[in-house]
Amino acid sequence: MKQFISDTYHYIMGIVMIFPIHYIRILFLRFLRMQIGKYTAICRGVDIRTPYRISIGSYTTINKHVVLDGRGGIVIGNCVDIAQDVNIWSLQHDYNSPVYATKGGKVVIEDYVWLASRVTVLPGVTIGRGAVVGACSVVTKDIPPMCIAVGNPAKVIGKREACLKYKLGQRGWFR
């Protein structure tokens, strides 16, 4: 019975997340106790796991085909741009465990972060305010604020200018 309930939940969640009306998706996620700030855009086709452990700030954009694995907790700040095909994992298997146990930690993505396409963020990572993570990078450790990081594993290659004043996702008809 537990498997049936889980399968039904994931089926309904999959249908709602491809629904073309943005307001309905946001309303449904808030019904599932996901914290979502105003003017935040969550595009169609986003895979959200354990929504009640995910918090997203205002003016943030989550593009299509993103995986948000909230089992270990995810906190996403304001004015964050998460490009398509990004995977944010908060729980994974422990490869040193003889019983294939899981381990994880909360992922924190601070304000004004930009995660380019196909970035993978692993459990327990904090990405500092204003950081940029380049396409196809794998973030295994914390990224300091205002840094540009690329690669597998992601390494800091530069700094970003400190004057960040933009707001994303300003669509006045939904909040």
Residues designated as active site: 93
What's the pTM value of the predicted model, to 2 decimals? 0.90
pLDDT of the residue at 110: 98
Superfamily of domain 2-159: Hexapeptide repeat proteins (2.160.10.10)
Question: Which contacts (CB < 8 Å, 24+ apart) does range 37-45 have?
Answer: 37/78, 38/175, 39/167, 39/168, 39/169, 39/170, 39/171, 39/175, 40/169, 41/168, 41/169, 41/171, 43/84, 44/17, 44/18, 44/19, 44/20, 45/17, 45/18
Q: Where are the domains of the chain?
A: 2-159
pLDDT digits (tens, 9 = 90+) for 64-108: 999 999 999 999 999 999 999 999 999 999 888 899 888 999 999
Q: What integer is the mean pLDDT of 24-31? A: 93
